[in-house]
Structure formats: C-alpha cells, structure tokens
Amino acid sequence: MVGSAIYRQLSLAEDCQIITSDRDSVDLTRQTEVEEFLNDMRPEQIYLAAAKVGGIYSNNNQPAEFIYQNLMIEANIIHSAFQAGIKKILFLGSSCIYPKAATQPITESSLLSGFLEPTNEPYAIAKIAGVKLCESYNRQYKHTHGLDYRSIMPTNLYGPGDNYHPLNSHVIPGLINRFHNAKQNGERKVIVWGSGKPRREFLHVDDMAKASIFLMNIENKLLSAHTKEMCSHVNAGYGNDISIAKLAELIADVIEYKGEIVFDNSKPDGTLVKLMDSSLINNLGWKPTIELKTGLVSTYQDYITHLS
C-alpha cells in the first residue's frame, strides 16, 4: 500500500526514474539476493517501505514471523545499500514503536522511554531496530561516506492498495470488509472487536507518500537542526484522533449499512490512546490534506474495485 502510493507520487516528477522489484524477483529476507539487486541497480535513493504488516490478530498469532521478517528486510537493505555506496535511505517505521503508556500526543523523544504494547511488541522491536540501524550507520559513516539515512514514523495508515483480509488486516480495511459483506448478506448486526473506546489517528496513504518524499528531499542541514543524532526519526500523523466506535459508525455510513454495531469486549483493545505529535514535520513545511471521511470514500471505492 505505502510503496504503491510513494510510486504514484514519484511518477509525477518528470526527472525521476523509479526502480522497483516484486517478491518473485527479490526475496528481501535473503541477504545475497538483496546485495545482488542493489549492486546491479545502484539507485540514488531508497524508500524502504517493504515490511510484513497486519492487525492485532496477525500480530498476536505470528510474532516470530513479524520480528524475523522485518529485521531481515531492513538489515539486508540498509547494510547492502551501504556496501553499494547508496547514500540516501528513507526508512518507514510505525507509531507502534512508542511505549504503551507514552504521554499523549507522542513526541519523537518518547522512543525507548517505557514498555511496548504487548500485542505488537515483536513488530515494534523490529521497527525500532530499523531506526537505530539508520542512526548507527549515520554516526559511523556520515563523514567518511556521506551517508544520510533517515526515518519517518507514520501513524495508522489507510487507503488504496490496503489488505482487506477479514482477520489479518488493520482496523479500517477490516471494518470496510465486514460492513460491506454484512450489507450484501442482509445481516442485522456487525460485531467489532474490543470495546470501541480506544482512540486512533488515521492518515491517508497518499498524504503519507507526500510526507515521505518531503522528508527525503529536505536539506540535511535544516533537518539536522531540528533533530538529534540518536533521536533523528520524524513523526507523520493527521493531527487528531477518533474512537473506534465513531470510526465504525463513519464506515457504516460510507457503505450505507443500516444494521446494529455490536462491540465484543472479550477481544483485546490494544493501547487505549495513541496520537502522534507531528509538530516537527509540520513546522518543517508538510501537512496532511485528505480529510478522514473523504479518504474512507476513496478507500471503499478501491475495495469495490479490488472485489471485481
């Protein structure tokens, strides 16, 4: 989803030649394959959006896969890029890197200040490692090799190209799938996991793509003036949040589902509140433009296209 959105945005630039690869061509968990690919292609910039991702269900049921695959992907790409002489990388992390009890809204300095949310700890640890890989290579090789490896931490993302699997998806695509099927099948109620009380912030993937390109290309001197060597990652969020209950109502309205929404309190809520402080990137010059309901309408249209 994110990689496709970045590709769409980069395609708008006339002077940009984009290099891509699929899983059948390069297995990013295999060091040799990644080394060969980057040595052959030698891009000027890398947007590291590849990752194994999923919602609460898949994170809880596949912790080994989540930590192993994500560690291997980022370690192989970052190290192989260094070996190939590639000087610029943007690593895409996740808001789940922050402690469960972090002060809201969450600032970049909250990283490593407390315990993580248990339901996605393996994924979060892998993403923290990616941030620290970028920082470590910068610290050791910035002056000798001109490295400029950066990290951006998006809030919860949604939009075209998302995974709409009924169990393995994130909350928005999962709810879209559930409400659509309920409407098609004439079901009188839809069950939503958890109490509905947790609040989440959502950013459209096209806004995230623009934030990524913005952060990749901002002057190093300007970025360095607003970050620290060992706290160099930058948050990217929408700026406000919504309860899962209100989100479910909004998605039901977009899909025109008229039945009852029932919350299953036996299922985990995850972190109760998670709102990013995105003032750093806002002050540098980037702000989101896609309002939540507008984004949900386009995402539902993508889902319908996905079905056909």
The residues pairing with 203 across neighbouring beta strands, listed in sequence order, are 157
Q: Which of 241, 99, 66 is nearest to 168 (CA)?
A: 66
Q: What is the pLDDT of residue 14?
A: 83
How far is residue 220 CA from its own chain's centroid? 23
Residue 308 has pLDDT above 90, yes or no: no
Q: What is the pLDDT of residue 164?
A: 85
Q: What percent of the chain has pLDDT over 70?
A: 99
pLDDT tens by residue, 27-48: 999 999 999 999 999 999 999 9
CB 80 within 8 A of CB 34: yes
- 98 catalytic? Reply is no
Q: Which of 47, 57, 98, 123 is catalytic?
A: 123
Q: What is the pLDDT of residue 204?
A: 98
Report, as an integer, the average pLDDT of 135-142.
98
Q: Which of 95, 70, 92, 76 is nearest to 36 (CA)?
A: 76
Q: What is the pLDDT of residue 304?
A: 95
Average pLDDT of every residue of the chain: 95
CB 268 within 8 A of CB 193: yes
Q: Measure Cα distances from 66 to 74, 127, 233 in Å.
A: 12, 10, 21
The residues pairing with 262 across neighbouring beta strands, listed in sequence order, are 191
- The tokens for 17 are 């030649």
Q: Is 112 helix (H, G, I), strand (E, B) or coil?
A: coil
pLDDT tens by residue, 155-178: 999 999 888 877 667 899 999 999
Q: How confident is the model at residue 53 (pLDDT cuts 50, 70, 90)?
A: confident
Query: What whole-number distance in Å separates Cα of residue 112 and Cα of residue 227?
Result: 16
pTM: 0.93
Q: What is the pLDDT of residue 237?
A: 98
CB atoms within 10 A of CB 68: 15
Q: How confident is the model at residue 57 (pLDDT cuts 50, 70, 90)?
A: confident
Q: Which of 167, 240, 257, 251 is nearest to 199 (CA)?
A: 240
Query: β-pairing, 260-264 with 189-193?
Result: parallel
Q: How confident is the model at residue 306 (pLDDT cuts 50, 70, 90)?
A: confident
Q: Does domain 2-307 have CATH number 3.40.50.720?
A: yes
Q: How confident is the model at residue 138 (pLDDT cuts 50, 70, 90)?
A: very high
From 11-15, 75-79, 269-273, 274-278, the region with the lowest mean pLDDT: 269-273
Q: How confident is the model at residue 15 (pLDDT cuts 50, 70, 90)?
A: confident
Q: What is the pLDDT of residue 195?
A: 95
Q: Is 63 helix (H, G, I), strand (E, B) or coil?
A: helix
Report, as an integer, the average pLDDT of 208-225.
97
Q: Measure Cα distances from 234 to 10, 221, 271, 284, 287 in Å.
A: 20, 15, 21, 11, 13
pLDDT tens by residue, 230-268: 999 999 999 999 999 999 999 999 999 999 999 999 988
Q: What is the pLDDT of residue 125?
A: 97
